[in-house]
Amino acid sequence: MIDRAHPGYDEARAVWNGLIDRRPAVVARCSGTADVVEAVAAARDHRPVVSIRGGGHQVAGSAVCDDGLVIDLSGMKGVHVDPTTRTARAQAGVTWGDLDRETQVHGLITPGGEISATGIAGLTLGGGFGFVMRTFGLSCDSVRSLEIVTADGRVRTVDREQEPDLFWASRGGGRGLGVVTSFEFGLHALGPEVAGVLVLHPYEHAEQVLRAWRDATYAAPRTVTPELLLWSVPADPAIPPELHRVNCVMVGAVYGGPPGDGATAALAPQRQLGPPLLDLSGSLPYVMLQGANTWRFPDGERYFMKSHFMEELTDEAIRTLLDWDSRRPTPESLIVVRTLGGAVADVDPDDSAFAHRSARFNVSIDAGWQDPAMDEAAIAWARSAWEAMKPFSSGGTYVNFAGLAEDAGELRGAVFGSHEERLERTRAAYDPEGLFAPAARMP
């Protein structure tokens, strides 16, 4: 237990987003399920506000609360891979970097997030976008079972047969249901090398590139997961210094199979969208791909993000995106267009709480900055750009990319679409007294 008098208090309450400055009464650092059971029992006895921490990467900082109890699982780092059954059991404090490292020993993956420092827990419970999602689905689609401590203190193993409602809700709607202590994931063969495209296009061609990218993306096979970024070129040693901080359109795509001629042919349309500033396409180890961007989003800087799902990327939507991109408040800020479809769309919309199976795109507007004096301007930019993109939205937003607690109101009812009612029923059945209600209200 870490309280305000503990020398490690400030470190224990810090999360990835430096904008978040919450002061919990106590942080319960759990090292196993028994600790979680005790923390939940203490919460039942004393009724503090409770928050749950996995990797601490949620932009809204919902892993920490003011004056309450943080149930901190970040020390629970166990991973066991069974290559025979192609499954991995991972505790809830594991990051994607930790999990990829273990599964890649066997040439296997479970599709995860794009930044290796992000926690598997929050990301999977909210759905889970990644570099190979069109081939292998969302992270939550690979969950076979999970262990969860519910508000009554019971340790439950949930899967399709046991507690199916809780299993349904935990995949895409997994806030405010209990404390997940571990996940069992199904694994897929991929790696150690993967083929990908990374092409930087000059900003003056942005509109043509976006249109060409959209058309190429509509035609892409499910083995290809494209992604487009409007950004200033990061100061990456692999990029010539004269390009650093130059505005550009970045086109990325990853092939969900072995590198080779098939991969090259499938990726070619993503690579040939116009004369590039720089083409860094090729193959690289999967673990390296997953970690390649981590340093670009360092701990302790200030972040705010919001997103929309979209069925189409119309010409007008492209022009609106570019208009708001031209007003980006800092070079660290960016707009990312991810493509769904393929394996994501294969899953029956009612199979899990994730409610956006038919969306083709997710657009996230990501403000990043360092100077606290920029807080207002950077947040206002992201909120305004998000408002401007609303007419193109297919409804709802992505819980994992939700802004701040103040933005949660407008998310409610939209996040899970038609699944909202079933999710609320499930929460009420497993947590009738609302022990985890604050976690359910926060993104």
Ligand X SMILES: Cc1cc2nc3c(=O)[nH]c(=O)nc-3n(C[C@H](O)[C@H](O)[C@H](O)COP(=O)(O)OP(=O)(O)OC[C@H]3O[C@@H](n4cnc5c(N)ncnc54)[C@H](O)[C@@H]3O)c2cc1C
State which residue, 165 or 207, has the beta carbon closest to ligand X. 165
Q: Which long-range contacts (CB under 8 A, 24 or more apart) does 34-43 make?
A: 36/71, 36/73, 36/149, 36/179, 36/181, 37/149, 37/153, 37/155, 39/69, 39/71, 39/179, 40/71, 40/149, 40/151, 40/153, 40/179, 40/435, 41/153, 42/69, 43/69, 43/71, 43/435
118 binds ligand X (CB under 6 A): yes
126 binds ligand X (CB under 6 A): yes
Q: Considering the complex, what minimum distance in angstroms separates the CB of residue 356 from ligand X?
A: 12
129 binds ligand X (CB under 6 A): yes
| Sites for ligand X among residues 280-299 (CB under 6 A) | 297
- Phi/psi of residue 5, each to 5°? -85, -10
State which residue, 279 or 375, has the beta carbon closest to ligand X. 375
180 binds ligand X (CB under 6 A): yes
What's the rounded Cα separation, in Å, for the pair 198 and 228?
10
439 binds ligand X (CB under 6 A): yes
Q: Considering the complex, what minimum distance in angstroms separates the CB of residue 200 from ligand X?
A: 20
State which residue, 120 or 200, has the beta carbon closest to ligand X. 120
State which residue, 48 or 55, has the beta carbon closest to ligand X. 55
Question: Nearest Cα to 400, choosing from 392, 409, 411, 410?
Answer: 411
What's the rounded Cα separation, in Å, for the pair 250 and 336?
9
Q: Considering the complex, what minimum distance in angstroms separates the CB of residue 97 from ligand X?
A: 12
Question: Nearest Cα to 331, choosing from 425, 221, 234, 260?
Answer: 234
Q: Which long-range contacts (CB under 8 A, 24 or more apart) does 264-268 make?
A: 264/195, 266/220, 266/221, 266/223, 266/224, 267/195, 267/196, 267/197, 267/224
- In the chain, the amino acid numbered 97 is G
Q: Considering the complex, what minimum distance in angstroms separates the CB of residue 304 from ligand X?
A: 11
70 binds ligand X (CB under 6 A): no
52 binds ligand X (CB under 6 A): yes
State which residue, 209 or 408, has the beta carbon closest to ligand X. 408
62 binds ligand X (CB under 6 A): yes
Q: Considering the complex, what minimum distance in angstroms separates the CB of residue 205 from ligand X?
A: 27
State which residue, 51 or 339, has the beta carbon closest to ligand X. 51
- In the chain, the amino acid numbered 318 is I
DSSP secondary structure, 387-442, as one string? HHHGGG--S---GGG---HHHHHHHTTTTTGGGHHHHHHHHHHH-TT-TTHHHHH-
Choosing from 39, 69, 121, 254, the residue that interacts with ligand X (CB under 6 A) is 121
Q: In sequence order, which ranges of 17-154 are alpha helices (DSSP H)?
A: 33-46, 96-104, 120-126, 133-136
Between vectors from CA 61 to CA 413 and to CA 102, what angle results, nearest 5°?
A: 100
59 binds ligand X (CB under 6 A): yes
Q: Which stretch binds ligand X (CB under 6 A): 128-136, 160-168, 205-213, 243-251?
A: 128-136
Q: Considering the complex, what minimum distance in angstroms separates the CB of residue 18 from ligand X?
A: 11
| Sites for ligand X among residues 387-406 (CB under 6 A) | 400-401
Q: Considering the complex, what minimum distance in angstroms separates the CB of residue 175 from ligand X?
A: 4
Q: Considering the complex, what minimum distance in angstroms separates the CB of residue 177 from ligand X?
A: 7
| Sites for ligand X among residues 149-178 (CB under 6 A) | 175
Q: Which stretch binds ligand X (CB under 6 A): 112-120, 186-194, 241-249, 344-352?
A: 112-120
Choosing from 57, 302, 308, 427, the residue that interacts with ligand X (CB under 6 A) is 57
What's the rounded Cα separation, in Å, for the pair 360 and 309?
8
Asked if residues 307 and 363 have their Cβ atoms less than 8 Å apart, the reply is yes
Strand partners for 362: 309, 338
State which residue, 302 or 419, has the beta carbon closest to ligand X. 302
Question: Residue 11 has which token pair?
Answer: 């470190």
State which residue, 354 or 392, has the beta carbon closest to ligand X. 354
State which residue, 16 or 286, has the beta carbon closest to ligand X. 16
Choosing from 24, 48, 68, 122, the residue that interacts with ligand X (CB under 6 A) is 122
**Binding residues for ligand X, per CB under 6 A?**
16, 51-59, 62-63, 73, 92, 113-115, 118-119, 121-123, 125-130, 175, 179-180, 297, 400-401, 439, 442
